[in-house]
């Protein structure tokens, strides 16, 4: 198994946070696998946020499918043109102020939420790498 990147996102690490169209200060912990497709495990810490919302109505399990895009602004515009509401947004968490994520309410059509994301070119040094490789026998 490859290492996982573990990070905490919140007001201290993500300069722009929005929840349902308003400025927000939610936080969450995430573990990102190095596999393809990538698996992301999320633990909501403070809210309100869409992770707590989902758990209240659905419990634990699949929350969203994520797609990398070249431009978060273009992706948001395209999803809005398709009729999907932006329900959570964050931007600026990369070392150079880049990196963004946007979640859309696609549950009625797809049974889950869709996330568009632009990963940062360089991650801020606020994450850890956890090596899950078993020791040699």
pLDDT per residue as tens digits for the range 39-92: 899 999 999 999 999 999 999 989 999 999 999 999 999 999 999 999 999 999
Over the chain, what is the mean pLDDT?
A: 90
Q: Identify whether 72 is part of a domain.
A: yes
Share of the chain above pLDDT 90, in %: 73
Any idea what the CATH number is for the domain that residue 74 is in?
A: 3.10.180.10
- What's the structural domain count of the chain? 1
Statement: residue 119 has pLDDT above 60: yes
Give the pLDDT band (50/70/90) at residue 115: very high
For residue 32, name the pLDDT band (cuts at 50, 70, 90).
Answer: confident
Q: Is residue 22 part of a domain?
A: yes
- Owning domain of residue 103: 4-130
pLDDT for 78: 98
For residue 15, being part of any structural domain is answered with yes
pLDDT of residue 135: 63
Instruction: Enumerate residues 6+ apart whose C-beta is below 8 A from 82.
Output: none
């Amino acid at each position: 198994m490859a290492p996982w990147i573990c990070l905490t996102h919140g007001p201290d690490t993500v300069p722009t946070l929005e929840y349902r169209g308003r400025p927000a200060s939610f936080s969450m912990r995430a573990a990102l696998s190095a596999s393809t497709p990538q698996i992301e495990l999320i633990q909501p810490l403070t809210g309100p946020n869409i992770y707590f919302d989902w758990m209240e109505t659905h419990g634990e399990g699949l929350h969203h499918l994520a797609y990398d895009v070249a431009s978060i602004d273009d992706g948001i515009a395209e999803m809005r043109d398709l009729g999907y509401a932006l329900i959570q947004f964050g931007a600026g968490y990369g070392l150079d102020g880049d990196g963004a994520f946007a979640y859309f309410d696609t549950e009625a059509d797809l049974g889950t939420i869709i996330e568009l994301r632009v990963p940062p070119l360089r991650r801020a040094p606020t994450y850890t790498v956890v090596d899950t490789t078993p020791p040699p026998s």
